[in-house]
Amino acid sequence: MSDAQPLDEAAVEAMVSEALAAIAVADTVADLRSVRLAHTGEKAPLALANREIGRLSPADRKVVGQLLGQARARVNEALAARQEAVAAAETAQALVAERIDVTLPVELSPVGAVHPITGLMDRLEDVFVAMGWEVAEGPELEAEWLNFDALNFRPDHPARLMQDTLFVSPVEKHLLMRTHTSPVQIRAMLQRELPIYVVCPGKVYRADEYDATHLPVFHQLEGLVVDKGISMAHLKGTLDHMARSVFGEGMETRLRPHYFPFTEPSAEIDLKCFVCKGASVGNPDAPCRTCRSEGWIEWGGCGVVNPRVLQACGIDTDVYSGFAFGMGIDRTVMFRNSATDLRDFVEGDVRFSRSMKGMAR
Ligand code: DAH
């Protein structure tokens, strides 16, 4: 078999020109990819020519080899340069096409607010948890025995009627909507190990009118401690700490003798008026609307747990004693934030929650 005819320079140049022309008009990365395949791939004219080199005479092989080597190098260089240009152009185009104006005004979706009652309950829980107390819970649909009997309200006790109880039919089941959070005290004593340090925030129900100062559903915070050597002094210290945590330094409480069946002795808790701090008392020139110039605001009830209540829960009253307290959370928010109408608490207007500074988050 004779040596093949070597390629001449003109033929190689024609292949290069054809490749360079195709490269020049490819203006996307994708186009360029097919041009690269057509002119440098296995079936490209230059590649096919290269395969023939082996069949040439050694002398021709060298010349043609060099010629083809240079030709392929020019095509590759042109490809690389075009690739860079096309990619840069595509990026620039994308940057323009996909541009986002971050300064354009956006439509903000309205954000809610934590209800001031939830806000205060969370805060009170934090105050007590920080002292090592636990948060206890009980059902709102409660057994009459836990709501009244175990708390030393006798069956004919007028206090049972004093609280306008919502009994749930059928009456034989002795179920009611709890009228206070005090039944959670009983649940805590029946279920927990001693000593007990618990707070219970929650909803309570009474057949009350719905007006500016009454809601048929409102909230209380109950506290209960049962331990060895507990006295009224521990109660007073706890209440003062709680008052300062919610209303700020300098706040204090005052206890006034009162009666509750489940505590003995019992007291009503007054909170120093956080607006005038007592300065309005006997001072007609600077009257205080919040406390009606009395210097104190009624806050809740408290006392030393009646031994009969401890005994009803099987606690040895020779060893253990306790204190308890309970107050209205809605009322507390009301005078802390100078809210004037309790109905605002249930009407669900987010602007009300937002206006309760330091309560809503
Ligand atoms: N349960 C009482 C009420 O709703 C408030 C109360 C008074 C709670 C004295 C107590 C307490 O724990 O010791 O009026």
pLDDT tens for 127-145 read 999 999 999 999 999 999 9
Residue whose CA is closest, atom 3 of ligand 1? 180
Q: Please state, in angstroms and rounded to a whole number, the distance separating the CA atoms of residues 274 and 76.
A: 85
Cα 324 to ligand 1 centre (Å): 8
Does the pLDDT at position 361 exceed 60? no
pLDDT tens by residue, 90-125: 999 999 999 998 899 888 888 889 999 999 999 999
274 pLDDT band, cuts 50/70/90, is confident
User: What is the per-residue burial (b if ≥16 Cβ within 10 Å, else e) of 307-333?
Assistant: bebbebbebeeeebbbbbbbbbbbbbb
Cβ atoms within 10 Å, residue 203 = 14
In degrees, to the nearest 5, what angle opens at C-alpha 47 toward C-alphas 42 and 50?
Answer: 140
Q: Which of 269, 325, 331, 332 to mutate to test the pocket of ligand 1 (most atoms within 8 A of CB)?
A: 325
Q: Tell me the CA–centroid distance for residue 326 and ligand 1, in Å.
A: 4
Residues at CB less than 6 angstroms from ligand 1: 180, 182, 222, 260, 263, 300-303, 324-326
- Gap from CA of 118 to ligand 1 centroid (Å): 20
Q: Would you say residue 3 has pLDDT above 80?
A: no
The residue contributing the CA closest to ligand 1 atom 13 is 302
185 CA closest ligand 1 atom index: 12
- Spatial CB neighbours of 211, under 8 Å, sequence gap ≥ 6: 342, 343
Q: Return mean pLDDT, the chain.
A: 91
Which tokens sit at 347? 């009407």
Ligand 1 mean position to 218 CA, how many Å?
A: 14
Name the closest-CA residue to atom 7, ligand 1.
Answer: 301
Q: Which of 157, 340, 142, 125 is nearest to 223 (CA)?
A: 125
Tell me how far the alpha carbon of residue 356 lies from the centroid of ligand 1, in angstroms.
Answer: 26
pLDDT attached to residue 5:
67
Q: Any idea which residue has 């210097």 for tokens?
A: 295
Q: Rounded to whole angstroms, how far apart are CA atoms 81 and 45?
A: 21
Q: Measured in angstroms, how far is the CA atom of residue 173 from the centroid of ligand 1?
A: 25
User: Which tens digits make up the pLDDT trace of 39-82?
Assistant: 998 998 888 888 888 888 888 888 888 888 999 999 999 999 99
**Residue 273: CB partners within 8 Å, gap ≥ 6?**
280, 288, 290, 291, 294, 295, 296, 297
Distance CA 226, CA 307 (A): 11
Cα first-last separation, the chain: 95
Average pLDDT over residues 234-250: 93
More confident residue, 72 or 6: 72
Q: What is the DSSP letter of 289?
A: T
Query: Using an 8 Å Cβ cutoff, are 162 and 207 in contact?
Result: no
Q: Which string of DSSP letters, residue by residue, matches 262-287?
A: TEEEEEEEEEE-TTTTTTTTT-TTS-
As a whole number of angstroms, the distance between CA 208 and CA 248 comes to: 32
Which of 262, 268, 330, 332 has the most ligand 1 atoms within 8 A of CB, as the residue to mutate? 262
| Region of residue 283 (left: phi > 0; alpha: psi -120 to 50; beta: else) | beta
Fold topology of 116-355:
BirA Bifunctional Protein; domain 2 (3.30.930)
- Over 60: is that where the pLDDT of 152 sits? yes
Q: What is the pLDDT of residue 2?
A: 43
Peptide linkage before 170 cis (omega within 30 of 0): yes
Share of the chain above pLDDT 90, in %: 68
